[in-house]
Structures are given as C-alpha cells and as structure tokens.
Structure 1
C-alpha cells in the first residue's frame, strides 16, 4: 500500500469533496477499500429502495479509493467502464457498504470489483466490476 488511510481521506476531502455524497472511506488496505453510504431520502427512488445511481456511485468511488491506495494519489485515474448487477432490494434508510478489491493493475489500466451490502441483509445487494484508465505518467 502506497497511500495511508489518512492521506487518502485528506486527498478526497480536498480534491473530490462532492464524493462524500456517495460514501465515506471506512477502511483501506493493499488493493482494497471499504466505503459506507448513510442512506437518506436523497438516495431513494420511488418505491422506497436505494436508487441504482446511488449504488453505482458508491461502487465507483470504492474502486477509485482501492486503486489510489495501491498506485498513489493519481487524480486523473478515471473510470472507463462500470458494470453493475443489482441482486436484491436494499433496506431503505439503512446504510450500505461497499468493499472494493483490485483484481489487476497494469501500466495504463486497472480492474476492480465491488460487493455492496445493505445493513440488515446478509447477502450482497449488488456486485460491480470497473475498469480504470491510468494516465501514462505516474
């Protein structure tokens, strides 16, 4: 791990403050990150469930955190693909947590996966895979 939890937390607060709307960093390790989203009315869709875009944003930021923890603070590492499968309905007004793991990190791209869990449910509510483009000069 190149970046500490505290360094990444400070980086996100300074350079990506809007990201707090999508979740907060809870843990960081060698190629993994954990994020938590406190679900409120802003994150719900009609029918009383967590919206797909809220879960997608949480998954995306979780992979970004896991990647930066491994390669360093590279602001221009960007999502080039995100695929998500919604597996079951999350518990409304209950926090959701994402655990991202990097599967492969190359010179110009990286692949990660994320499982999202809703507090109160044992099984995951979503699974995502993401590809990040890494700028050539790190």
Structure 2
C-alpha cells in the first residue's frame, strides 16, 4: 500500500492541475495545504454562499471538498491521474459545519492496479468538529496512460 507521496506532486502542482482541469475547484477557492505522509490536507475557505437554513455549511460544498481531497491522494500514487474517476462515494454527515473554513484530510485505504479506495474526514476550522466522513472509490487509469 502507498504510504507517502510516491509521485512527488507538490501542493502548487496539484492546485495548478485543479485550476486547469477542474475549474470548479478554482471557483470554490480550495487550497491544498499539504500532500505528505500519505495524507492530502485541503482547505475550503468560507463563503457565505455555502450557508443553508440552520446556519450550517451545505452538503454539496462539503462533498466537493472531500471529492477533491480524495482525488489528491490519487495524484499522490499515480504519475498522471487525469483519468482517475470517482466510481463510488459514501458520505456520512456527522454534525453541522459551522460557518467558517473547512479542512479535509484524505488518506488511502487500498491502492490496487485498477481501483483506489480512500477515506476523508472533513472538520470545521472553527471548532475542529468532525462534520463528515467520506469513503470513495476511484477507477485508476491504466499504467502509462497520459492525460
């Protein structure tokens, strides 16, 4: 199993890749804080547009952050993960996310030749509360396939 950042992708490289290939991420302002020790840590800066009734961050914003964090760990094990796609995701919303930044920490559970299974915790930067736990499966590109 992968234990680090085998591809050596930097946070700046990943942010540039996302801005070019997944413009929605750029629109949300998601920032990659670290890609090391087998963990991808990303931040979603607070935006009042993400608030839903009850004064909590909406589920679509939480899942978007988790999905990008899970994608980041795919880039940590595949030299070019352009063709990696989410094939399944289970989201457990655990508590309402207070208005403020959200932090995602994703790590690999199993990395095979064709599938990558990873998990992601989403925490509030306001009070460190665990807001969501996500498990995702990615179909990985065949070895040597360039994007």
Q: Deviations over 1:22-62 (max 9, x none)?
A: 62211111432111011212211122110111101100000
Total equivalences in the alignment: 137
1:111 is aligned to 2:124: no
Aligned to 2:34: 27
Aligned to 2:73: 66
Q: TM-score, normalised by structure 1?
A: 0.90
RMSD: 1.5
Aligned to 1:16: 22
Q: Deviations over 1:61-90 (max 9, x none)?
A: 001011102212221100001111111111
Aligned ranges 1:1-138 → 2 under 5 Å: 1=5, 2=7, 3-20=9-26, 21=28, 23-92=30-99, 94-138=100-144
CA distance in 2, matches of 1:18, 1:38: 14
**Closer, same or farther in 2 for the Cα pair 1:122/1:9, shift >3 Å?**
closer
CA distance in 1, matches of 2:13, 2:128: 32
Q: Where has structure 1 moved over 3 Å in runs of 4 or more? A: none
CA distance in 1, matches of 2:38, 2:85: 17
Does structure 2 retain, via aligned residues, the 8 Å contact 1:32–1:67? Answer: no
Deviation at 1:110, TM superposition (A): 0.2
**Structure 2 spans left out of the alignment, 5+ residues:** none
**Closer, same or farther in 2 for the Cα pair 1:32/1:75, shift >3 Å?**
same
CA distance in 2, matches of 1:11, 1:86: 28
Does structure 2 retain, via aligned residues, the 8 Å contact 1:22–1:54? Answer: no
